[in-house]
């Protein structure tokens, strides 16, 4: 009990801890809220730039008041100085990337290091006039927060939060779709500057606590954490603020227990928080992603199951039987079977699972692709022993256009090199469809729709009803039975040129 009291309650009674908690929370809330817009606009690097550029502004403001009014460390002047430095930095970044071939990110890198360096040099040259502790500035000192820091944070926070709440729609639309925003008359450029000013204010208010280097973390990390959990900007901002405050609270305790730097502890806590959410977030987290991937049934496996079932006559399969044939482990197979039943490809029968009409159609389509690929591979000279294996891979290329290309290239073969029948193109050959006569198989009755140039002398004319006869001469000659009993033979190109409407 004594231990818990020492660890949790005792710090809360200390005034330095209270100030750190209040100041840190204010800064964190406003950082996190603005951070949402910053990450959605992909401006994270700009936040970093602004925080570094500040030092020049702080030094400038200090120096100005000191030399002109002889006042020491006048906070409002340093604040204004920081804002001026921020605006100058942003302006010069925009200028450089606009007028030269140097891109945005490089321009940011150049300008902020330049302004930062100018600040550092200024502070060291005028070290007799300016009493700024550079280390304090760079690392921050949340546990040594002074009253005026609290005031700065509170004023900056109220200005920024008011702006974000009042102009939420403007910020939202101009970050989501600037073109639309401009088209309905929103002042997009002004909104951009307003956002940059907000970021500057926020950074200024947080630097004294977590330091130049870590402030960008406070801006980005809680917002990114909330981003993993939210699908609405307003909720993301609220949750982000909560994460900001928990970071400060957790971080401060951590720094007391470990006797470490306050800013560092806050950012460590904040980062850990992010990593935990990244792992467990219900939708965008790693675990969720991993289970989704695991649950997903690969299309290839589904196709393998379909084809195996067709080859076995289409009925009564058990998982273990299929697992043996396909060569996948039984767990994956049963998951695939469940998935396919849900998708309507399989139906449960008393004897086991069998193909539904949809499943049969799909299976025929894949089998057709497989056997056409086999014929193709045989034709291009692949050794017989490798044909099946290669076709097994290629059968998953089965979009309609590719398969029909193969079919035509190979002269609409009826059987594959092993003598197995290639299923008919059952989509195009459905009754009522108009298709080229060449893709029809023996036994179909059709009425001729049109006769192309290549088939002018074929003896067929539009309106005739004919029955397709057997393929002759090793499959390269088509035969057609007329109603009067005559038989007409056609070559591939002539058969291609005749369009027929399928009757049955």
> Which parts of this chain interact with other proteins (CB under 8 A)?
40, 166-167, 169-170, 172-173, 175-177, 179-180, 182-186, 227, 230-233, 235-236
Query: Residue holding tokens 């980005």?
Result: 220
Least Cβ distance, residue 497 to other proteins (angstroms): 16
Least Cβ distance, residue 172 to other proteins (angstroms): 8
CB of 40 or CB of 73, closer to other proteins:
40
CB of 236 or CB of 267, closer to other proteins:
236
Least Cβ distance, residue 168 to other proteins (angstroms): 10
Q: Which tokens in the block code for residue 33?
A: 């809220």
CB 150 within 8 A of CB 23: yes
Q: Pinpoint the alpha helices (H) of 100-187.
A: 104-125, 134-139, 147-166, 168-176, 178-183
70: three-class secondary structure by DSSP: coil
CB 316 within 8 A of CB 349: yes
CB atoms within 10 A of CB 219: 32
- Among residues 335, 337, 371, the alpha carbon closest in space to that of 356 is found at 337
CB of 181 or CB of 460, closer to other proteins:
181
CB of 159 or CB of 347, closer to other proteins:
159
Least Cβ distance, residue 282 to other proteins (angstroms): 13
Residue 169's H or E segment, with its range, is helix 168-176
CB atoms within 10 A of CB 234: 12
CB of 136 or CB of 235, closer to other proteins:
235
DSSP tag of 9: I
Query: Residue holding tokens 């403007």?
Result: 170
CB 496 within 8 A of CB 408: yes
Least Cβ distance, residue 38 to other proteins (angstroms): 14
Least Cβ distance, residue 458 to other proteins (angstroms): 24
CB of 232 or CB of 294, closer to other proteins:
232
CB of 183 or CB of 291, closer to other proteins:
183
- Among residues 231, 221, 237, 230, the alpha carbon closest in space to that of 275 is found at 221
CB of 166 or CB of 503, closer to other proteins:
166
Least Cβ distance, residue 185 to other proteins (angstroms): 3
Least Cβ distance, residue 428 to other proteins (angstroms): 16
Backbone angles phi, psi at 399, to 5 degrees: -70, 155
Q: How far apart are CA 36 and CA 235, in angstroms?
A: 10
């Amino acid at each position: 009990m004594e231990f818990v009291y020492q660890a949790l309650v005792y710090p809360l009674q200390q005034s330095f801890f209270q100030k750190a908690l209040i100041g840190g929370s204010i800064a964190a809330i406003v950082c996190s809220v603005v951070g949402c817009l910053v990450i959605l606009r992909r401006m994270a690097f700009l936040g970093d730039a602004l925080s570094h550029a500040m030092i020049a502004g702080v030094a400038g403001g200090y120096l100005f008041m000191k030399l002109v009014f002889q006042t020491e460390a006048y906070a409002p002047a340093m604040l204004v100085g920081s804002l001026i430095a921020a605006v100058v930095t942003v302006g010069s970044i925009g200028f450089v990337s606009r007028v030269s071939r140097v891109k945005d990110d490089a321009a940011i890198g150049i300008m902020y290091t330049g302004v930062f360096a100018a600040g550092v040099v200024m502070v060291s040259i005028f070290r007799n006039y300016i009493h700024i502790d550079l280390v304090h500035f760079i690392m921050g000192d949340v546990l040594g927060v002074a009253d005026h820091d609290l005031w700065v944070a509170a004023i900056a926070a109220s200005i920024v939060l008011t702006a974000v709440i009042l102009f939420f729609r403007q910020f939202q639309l101009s970050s989501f779709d600037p073109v639309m925003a401009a088209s309905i008359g929103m002042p997009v450029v002004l909104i951009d500057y307003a956002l940059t000013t907000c970021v500057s204010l926020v950074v200024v208010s947080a630097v004294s606590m977590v330091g130049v280097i870590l402030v960008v973390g406070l801006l980005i990390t809680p917002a990114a954490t909330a981003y993993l959990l939210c699908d609405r900007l307003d909720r993301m901002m609220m949750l982000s603020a909560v994460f900001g405050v928990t970071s400060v609270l957790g971080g401060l305790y951590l720094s007391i227990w470990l006797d470490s730097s306050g800013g560092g502890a806050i950012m460590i806590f904040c980062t850990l928080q992010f990593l935990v959410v990244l792992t467990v977030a219900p939708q965008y987290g790693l675990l969720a992603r991993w289970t989704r991937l695991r649950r997903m049934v690969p299309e290839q496996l589904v196709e393998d199951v379909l084809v195996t079932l067709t080859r076995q006559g289409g009925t009564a399969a058990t998982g273990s039987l299929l697992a043996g044939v396909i060569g996948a482990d039984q767990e994956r197979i049963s998951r695939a079977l469940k998935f396919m039943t849900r998708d309507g490809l399989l139906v449960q029968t008393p004897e086991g699972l069998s193909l539904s009409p949809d499943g049969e159609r799909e299976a025929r389509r894949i089998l057709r692709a497989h056997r056409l690929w086999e014929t193709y591979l045989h034709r291009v000279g692949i050794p017989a022993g490798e044909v099946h294996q290669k076709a097994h891979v290629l059968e998953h290329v089965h979009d309609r256009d590719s398969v029909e290309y193969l079919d035509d290239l190979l002269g609409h073969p009826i059987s594959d090199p092993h003598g197995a029948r290639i299923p008919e193109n059952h989509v195009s050959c459905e009754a009522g469809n108009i298709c080229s006569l060449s893709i029809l198989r023996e036994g179909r009755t059709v009425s001729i729709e049109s006769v192309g140039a290549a088939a002018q002398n074929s003896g067929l004319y539009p309106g005739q009803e004919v029955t397709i006869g057997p393929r002759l001469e090793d499959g390269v000659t088509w035969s057609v039975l007329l109603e009067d009993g005559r038989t007409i033979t056609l070559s591939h190109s002539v058969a291609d040129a005749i369009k027929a409407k399928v009757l049955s």
